[in-house]
Structures are given as C-alpha cells and as structure tokens.
Structure 1
Amino acid sequence: MSERSPAPGGLELVESLVNTLDLESEADSLDTAEGRARLGLTQDEVPGARELRESLRAVLLAHAGHPPHREVTPLGELLAGAPLLVAVDARDGSARLGPADGRTLLSRVAAAVAEALVAGTWNRLKACEAVTCHWAYYDRSPAGRGRWCSMAVCGARAKMRRYRAK
C-alpha cells in the first residue's frame, strides 16, 4: 500500500499486524498460511489476532486525530492479558522490558508498545485518514502531523476530491 519504510523497533510488528488487512480489496493475509507464518500464528490464533489488529487500528486512528473505524475491544483491555518481564543484564546492569511469553502475538505486541512508549515513538505510529485505507504507517514528518500512508496515493486522492468539490 505504502512506499514508506517500516516503523522502527518493535513497532514494525504492530504495523505489520495492522496491515494484514487491505480494506480496499478486503484481502486479509491472515487467511493464508504464509500470512499467518509471518506473524508466527496458528489457525486457532487468528480470531484473537484479528481482534488485536482492529483494536490497534482504532488506537492508530486516534494517534492521527481520527475517530475509531468501528466498535472494538479497548486495546488496554487486550494488553492487560499480556504480562511483561523486566530483564536485567548482570554484566552491565542494562534493563529491557520484554514479553513474559515471547511466543504469543499479544505478548510480543505488548512488549513492542512498551518499548515504543519508553522510546517516545508510540504516538508516531498512525493509521491513514482515508476510510478505504486505514493502513498503518510511521509518521516521520518533522511536526508529526502526517495524515496519509502515502501522499502519492491516499493524499493525492483526498486533495483531488477537495479540488473537485470546489
């Protein structure tokens, strides 16, 4: 969908999960064995992954100043079920927050969100304003006011619609 480079750090996982559904074509890569394998999912884990994906999308829309696309389980409720673990390196005393259970998608996403909060990058992960898109992207604009996953596609369409409306 977008020509942007992936989000930094663990946010790439969040971005990848949200972007498993192409709203315009309705293609869901979680329907394929290859798509599930990319996220380390079994078929039985797909319903939970879809619920998590849409809760994340709602938060990313909020990051961009847009209302939720539909009623979803609040992300905080989902992430509350994913315990995190503080790992401290005995050699240098450095610490990092990680998933207590690194195998589950929910735990990996919770750790990615925690990492992004500490790094100050969480609010830069957004969802495209276009209602037929809502693709996740990392906003690298200096002011952090990006609105579309791609200026060449969704941004151009929005500008053309405004121009034609005049």
Structure 2
Amino acid sequence: MPMDTTRTILSPSAAAETVLAFVNTRAIDGSREQLGDGAAFAQWLRLEGLTGPGVLVTHADAAAARELRDALVLVLLAHAGEEDDEGRARAEEYLRRSARLYPLAPVVTASGVQLLPTGDGVPGALAHVLAAASDVALRGAWMRLKACRNPPCHLGFYDRSRNSSAAYCSPNRCGAQVAMRTYRTRKAQEE
C-alpha cells in the first residue's frame, strides 16, 4: 500500500476502504452476513481479491475473521466516542494477538515502505486487513475510521467532517433515530 499523496485527509485511502469493506461484512439493514461460514467467507475473499479460487476456507477461518472484525468494530466505536473501556481493552488485546497470528513484514523500496503479509491463503488475507489498518494509522487517518454509535447499526464509515466529530454513519438516519430514542426515554421518565 504505497502512499497516495493526491488524497486529502477528508477522503479515504484504498487502505481505509479495505478496512471498511471488512468491518461492513456484518448483516446490516437486511444485508447478508458475509462471514457466516467458510463458503460465504471464501466468496467475500475472492470478490475482494484477497485469495484465489483454489484456497480452502473453513468454518473456523470464518469464525476467526468474525472475531477480528468484531475487535475492529469495537475500536472504531471508540473512535466515534463510545465509552466502553473494558470492551475496547479486550479488542485491543485481541488485535495484538492477531498481529502475531497474521504477521506482516516491512518491504522497503526507493518509493517508500509497505507492510505486507508474510503468508498467503486466509492468514495472508487477514494480515492484509491488518496491513491496511496500519497504513491508515501511518497516514494519520486512523481516528477517522469509525463505527456508527447507533446500536442496531454499527456500520463502519470514514469521517469526512473537517473536525472529525461524526458519530453516526448518517445524521439523517442513525443520528435521528438516536435523538428520537433519547427524546422518548426522557419523555417517559418525566411522566
């Protein structure tokens, strides 16, 4: 993932898009769970260009991918201001263990440095996701990757606001839902 200097901090890099594609594999708004089993995960990996057609993907691989995805979602929720210190700490510990399971190696060239997976197959694909997250962080945009704070949603999104203050994937949809729930709760407590 070489640096692309034509982008601004307000637009997501290819690495940010990779991380978001991975965290948004959950069943959201009636969509299908893309990491539900080995076959579904294999299809997603092929569509994303992370593995070839001959790679064996098991149900255990899909479960490992879901755990990695869930850890990333918890970290992205923290970026959106969700205050679950215990959950965030567990997620960060899981990501540290994942870094050992799916190692990366720096590749230095005249044009820059990239972190690349040391393996192939499913471990290489999951390492590719971690490499993308690392690339986003090295670009200074890690805190702009967020998960929607609306509990039924938690969709991953890139915060394009100038002050990086977005907390919902859509202020008109999820932001409005949260505001309405808060209003109804307050009204019920007043009665």
- Confirm or deny a common fold (TM above 0.5): yes
TM-score normalised by L of structure 2:
0.70
2:58 aligned with 1:43, yes or no? yes
Paired residues in the alignment total 158
Secondary structure of the structure 2 residue equivalent to 1:28: coil
Gaps of 5+ in 1: 1-5
2:131 aligned with 1:131, yes or no? no
- 1:108, distance to aligned residue in structure 2 (A): 0.4
Q: Is the 8 A contact 1:57 1:127 kept in 2?
A: yes
Q: Provide the aligned C-alpha RMSD in A.
A: 2.6
Q: Find runs of 4+ consecutive structure 1 residues off by over 6 angstroms.
A: none
Q: Is the 8 A contact 2:20 2:157 kept in 1?
A: yes
2:14 aligned with 1:9, yes or no? yes
TM-score normalised by L of structure 1:
0.80
Give the match for residue 94 of structure 1.
112
| Higher helix content, 1 or 2 | 2
Partner amino acid for 1:77?
Answer: R
- Distance in 1 of aligned mates of 2:151 and 2:42: 25
- Distance in 1 of aligned mates of 2:173 and 2:27: 14
Change (3 A) 1:22 1:7: farther
Partner amino acid for 1:65?
Answer: G
Q: Is the 8 A contact 2:35 2:63 kept in 1?
A: no
Partner amino acid for 1:57?
Answer: V
Q: Is the 8 A contact 2:79 2:144 kept in 1?
A: yes
Gaps of 5+ in 2: 1-10, 52-56
Q: Is the 8 A contact 2:148 2:168 kept in 1?
A: yes
Q: Percent identity?
A: 34
Secondary structure of the structure 1 residue equivalent to 2:115: strand
Match of 2:71 among 49, 55, 61: 55
